[in-house]
Amino acid sequence: MLLLKLGVRFLAKVTNVLLVGVGGQGTLLAARILSGVLQQGGYDVKMSEVHGMSQRGGSVVTFVRYGDRIYSPLVEKGTADLILSFEKMEALRWLPYLKPGGTVVVNDFALLPAPVLMGKAEYPYNALEILKEQAETLIVLDAAKVAMEEAGNIRTQNVALLGALASHMDIDTEIWQQVIRESVPPKTVEANLKAFAAGGQQH
Amino acid sequence: MAELKLPKGEKSVKLFLSGNEAIARGGYEYGATFAAAYPGTPSTEILENLTSYEEIYAEWSTNEKVALEVGLGASLAGSRVIVAMKHVGVNVAADPLFTAAYTGVNGGFLLVSADDPTMHSSQNEQDNRNVAPFAKIPMLEPSDSQEAKDLVGQGFEISEKFDTPVLIRITTRIAHGKGLVHCQERQQPPELDYKKDAAKYCMLPAFARQRRLVIEERTARLQEFSENFPYNKIEWGSKDVGIITSGISYQYAKEVFGDSASYLKLTLTWPLPEKMIREFAAKVNKIYVIEELDPYLETQIRALGVEVIGKDVIPNMFELSAEILRERILGQKLPEQELDVPIPPRPPVLCAGCPHRPVFYILKKMKVPVMGDIGCYGLAVPPPLEAVDTTVCMGASITMAHGFQKASSWLGTNKKAVGVIGDSTFFHSGMTGLADLVFNKGASAVLVLDNRTTAMTGHQPHPGSGITAKGEPTQEIKIEDVVRSMGVEDVAVVDAYDLDGAEKAIRHALDFDGPSVVIFRRACALLKGLPKLPPLQIDQEKCTKCHICLSTGCPALVHHPDKSVTIDTDACTGCTVCAQVCPFDAIVEVGGEVLG
Ligand SMILES: Cc1ncc(C[n+]2csc(CCOP(=O)(O)OP(=O)(O)O)c2C)c(N)n1
């Protein structure tokens, strides 16, 4: 219970987080770990995501809100403290949600959407430059590289991204480690913990 | 699937649950012993989670009408029952529901309707709160996961006390929104014997007329109950503004107005607590009715003679949000970042290796009217496939094709039509349509896309899958056997990945003078445990950049700015459809040749 006590912080403030990406990219597991951490941290937490059609390769978003008492499960435009994007263009799409002074953590990875694959639209390859101009704090992480080189397991990308996110949140590292241990397949615990640590150092 | 049991030795624990998980948890805690459902976003996880409790029998029924009737039978036998479906499922189940309101129940009976405002994954938007007064059954609207769980217990008690089915109405943000929920041990369900009672359960006109009177009397008692129901409650803040609200809209209102308003938060929203509403109205200066979709509360409150502001400022379609309330009521807009870069849309697509793709690729070439259905194959509507003419509701493919073909022959335009339907949808509501087609001497071609599962909603088994909701092996009903037994003589079973074979079968079915059915059998590429096929690559020397492969719309094919095309070998499932359409045999197995 020591961990719990360390993590308890009561703030009148509400923090808004967006996890965005492409259906099938593993945003759901990341959101589950994040909300588990916040729950252990003693916060009221709400999370909202949409299942169904968009899971077939569409643009997906998970809203996570935490603080003293949370009412709406949705984040309003212009109010996100943190945006964690699993894909570059999706970070741009959801940028209107960022509040002035907010932080963007983005995976340096492009997944081309159908209209681009078919040559009917152009991918904004300069996404990172635009993000740099627009976000007060921008963290760019090559999650695949971290996952392969630091953790030796490509499937730890989402946890590497969480590592980068965690370094901008005020929550005890041990709580993160504990929830990761409980959330990932037992055989991959060590790799995920390595990815988490490395993700937090890459900027 | 979440394991929703308490840790060993704990009496109470706080779990982070979605509304759907919380309803399943409520079923467990409040003594449900029976559950039936047909999948449909955003309701699916209710039954999925209920299957994890040994104490509860749970089944995927063939459709929602069936689920409701199976549930009603279980209630008569003495079970506490949860039946769950999406909003349009209630349309399918309306027939038994509207008469179950007459028969009443034995064990507590809950119908969960999960509505989908904004149509994230639906073909229409409907506000099923309207069902409660229409069917004359009480309705509960949870506003978060905790209430979703609690109201299962309340609902069972109301159902048993008032002898009526109870509607629990949720929306996408309740169903798929997660929050902290206090969970406890399971309570023992009451023991209820079945008693034969024809006057109550046989709704012949004479008996039904008597039950009609019972409903009126019951409604009056429920009305009284609603006045004192603890989940209908007033939260006083400033009395300048009074807000009457229910469900998720309560959360948006609280977010925006906090303590600067008073709230009448309604949870039992049919029948409404009229006295409570009048009393609240008398104590505040100005009243807003804040509700998503239809003016359901507003119309009834206005009918009480209470003046309110409602749909004159709040939209009557799509999801509500705190943002909308801020803008429409307070005239405030939060600062947001403006971007002037065009961001291409990212629509959902048929997956790499989807066995539906080749069928629609062929149909597009044939330029025949294609009456579609509801399933993943809806993704064959947009470019590049653009192979579907209609999408209305589950089962409408076979029947609309039949009507189209019959009318064309009657009118002398003699157009054939094709009906395309998935396997789960075939069992749901395709079979009766096919019987109609055979009976009425139709001559349409019916294509059944048998991907062995209900893919769109996340791979639930159906009567053709050979496995139950609880994971037990069971009889596998073969679609070709059903079709033949209905008198269709021209039946073929084809591998969807065999492009030539598929095309021949479709052409034959179209030429055939009479009902003709082609079953395309190939498992959904996302199903676990399928044999892995070797991925493909493009031989850039042979490739002429003709882009015919791109017209299949496979997301594993990557079109580069220099017009060259490559294959993302991680995404490629080796289905070979692109290789079969390539006129230059340029698409080959990674590490070996594949026959084009
Ligand atoms: C009455 C009704 N119930 C449920 C749904 C939700 N729903 C949409 S598609 C679908 C399943 C389709 O399965 P299948 O026909 O096998 O096609 P697949 O997705 O596997 O391609 C369901 C259950 C609906 N739209 N309407």
Choose which CATH entry (3.30.70.20, 3.40.50.1370, 3.30.70.1290, 3.40.50.10490) describes domain B536-589. Answer: 3.30.70.20
Instruction: For residue B185, give both structure tokens.
Output: 């041990």
Cβ atoms A76, B323 nearer than 8 A: yes
How many degrees, rounded to 5, is the angle at CA B213 between CA B207 and CA B218?
A: 120
Residue in B321, B350, B559 nearest the CB of A117: B559
Please check whether residue A56 touches B, CB under 8 A.
yes
Q: Is residue A5 part of a domain?
A: no
CA atoms within 13 A on the CB side of B371: 24
Cβ atoms B144, A69 nearer than 8 A: no
pLDDT number for residue B12: 87
Strand-pair partners of A65: A16, A46
pLDDT number for residue B341: 85
pLDDT number for residue B320: 98
Task: Quote the number of domains for chain A.
Answer: 1
Arithmetic mean of pLDDT over chain A: 90
A36-78 residue pLDDT tens: 999 999 999 999 987 766 678 899 999 999 999 999 999 999 9
The domain defined by B233-330 carries CATH number 3.40.50.920:
yes
Please check whether residue A72 touches B, CB under 8 A.
yes
In this structure, the residues whose C-beta lies within 6 A of any atom of ligand 1 are B 38-40, 64, 86, 88-89, 92, 123, 374-377, 394, 422-425, 449, 451, 453-457
Cβ of B10: how many Cβ atoms within 10 Å?
A: 11
Calculate how far, in angstroms, residue B580's C-alpha sits from the geometric centre of ligand 1.
29
Q: Give CA–CA dist B261/B250, Å, rounded.
A: 12
Strand-pair partners of A45: A66
pLDDT number for residue A8: 37
pLDDT number for residue B540: 97
Per the omega criterion (within 30 degrees of 0), is the bond before B271 cis? yes
pLDDT class of A117 with cuts at 50, 70, 90:
confident
pLDDT class of B333 with cuts at 50, 70, 90:
confident
Global pTM reads 0.96
Calculate how far, in angstroms, residue B461's C-alpha sits from the geometric centre of ligand 1.
12
Per the omega criterion (within 30 degrees of 0), is the bond before B42 cis? yes
Calculate how far, in angstroms, residue A129's C-alpha sits from the geometric centre of ligand 1.
42
Q: Give CA–CA dist B565/B544, Å, rounded.
A: 10
Considering only CB atoms, which chain A residues are within 8 Å of B14?
A: 39
> B274-283 b/e with 16+ CB inside 10 Å = b?
bebbeebbee
Cβ atoms B439, B445 nearer than 8 A: no
Alpha helices in B129-184 (DSSP H): 131-135, 145-162, 172-175
Q: Give CA–CA dist A52/B175, Å, rounded.
A: 12
The domain containing residue A25 runs over which residues? 13-108+123-200
Q: Per-residue pLDDT averaged across B96-114, rounded?
A: 98
Cβ atoms B402, B432 nearer than 8 A: no
The answer, yes or no, to whether residue A79 has pLDDT greater than 70, is yes
Considering only CB atoms, which chain A residues are within 8 Å of B555?
A: 57, 114, 117
Calculate how far, in angstroms, residue B121's C-alpha sits from the geometric centre of ligand 1.
10
Q: Give CA–CA dist B27/B108, Å, rounded.
A: 11
- The DSSP code for B460 is B
Considering only CB atoms, which chain B residues are within 8 Å of A50?
A: 42, 120-121, 172, 176
| Residue of B49, B318, B337 to mutate, interface with A, max A Cβ within 10 Å | B337
How many degrees, rounded to 5, is the angle at CA B449 between CA B443 and CA B453?
A: 140
Instruction: For residue A151, give both structure tokens.
Output: 């953790």
Q: Give CA–CA dist B474/B461, Å, rounded.
A: 11
Give, in order, the Cα–Cα distances in Å from B305 to each of A8, A93, B72, B109, B300.
Answer: 49, 46, 38, 34, 9
> For a pocket test of ligand 1, which of B456, B462, B479 has the largest count of ligand atoms closer than 8 A to its C-beta?
B456
CATH for B356-521 is 3.40.50.970
Cβ atoms B452, B465 nearer than 8 A: yes
ipTM score of the complex? 0.94
Q: Per-residue pLDDT averaged across A169-179, rounded?
A: 95
Q: Is residue A192 part of a domain?
A: yes
The answer, yes or no, to whether residue B134 has pLDDT greater than 90, is yes
The answer, yes or no, to whether residue A10 has pLDDT greater than 50, is no
pLDDT number for residue A202: 67
Helix (H, G, I), strand (E, B) or coil at A109: coil
Considering only CB atoms, which chain A residues are within 8 Å of B255?
A: 71-72
Q: Give CA–CA dist A108/A128, Å, rounded.
A: 8
Q: Do the strands B565-567 and B557-559 form a parallel or antiparallel pair, or are they unpaired? A: antiparallel
Whether residue B550 and residue A113 make contact (CB cut-off 8 A), yes or no, is: no
Sequence-separated (6 or more) residues with CB below 8 Å from residue B220: none
Q: Is residue A72 part of a domain?
A: yes
Cβ atoms B312, B287 nearer than 8 A: no
Helix (H, G, I), strand (E, B) or coil at A65: strand
B308-327 residue pLDDT tens: 999 999 999 999 999 999 99
> For a pocket test of ligand 1, which of B356, B428, B520 has the largest count of ligand atoms closer than 8 A to its C-beta?
B428
Q: Where along chain B do its domains lie?
A: 12-228, 233-330, 356-521, 536-589
Residue A99: CATH number of its domain? 3.40.920.10
The answer, yes or no, to whether residue A3 has pLDDT greater than 50, is no
The answer, yes or no, to whether residue A81 has pLDDT greater than 60, is yes
Fold of B12-228: Rossmann fold (3.40.50)
Atom of ligand 1 nearest to the CA of B424: 16
Q: Is residue A115 part of a domain?
A: no
B152-211 residue pLDDT tens: 999 999 999 999 999 999 999 999 999 999 999 999 999 999 999 999 999 999 999 999
Whether residue A56 and residue B341 make contact (CB cut-off 8 A), yes or no, is: no
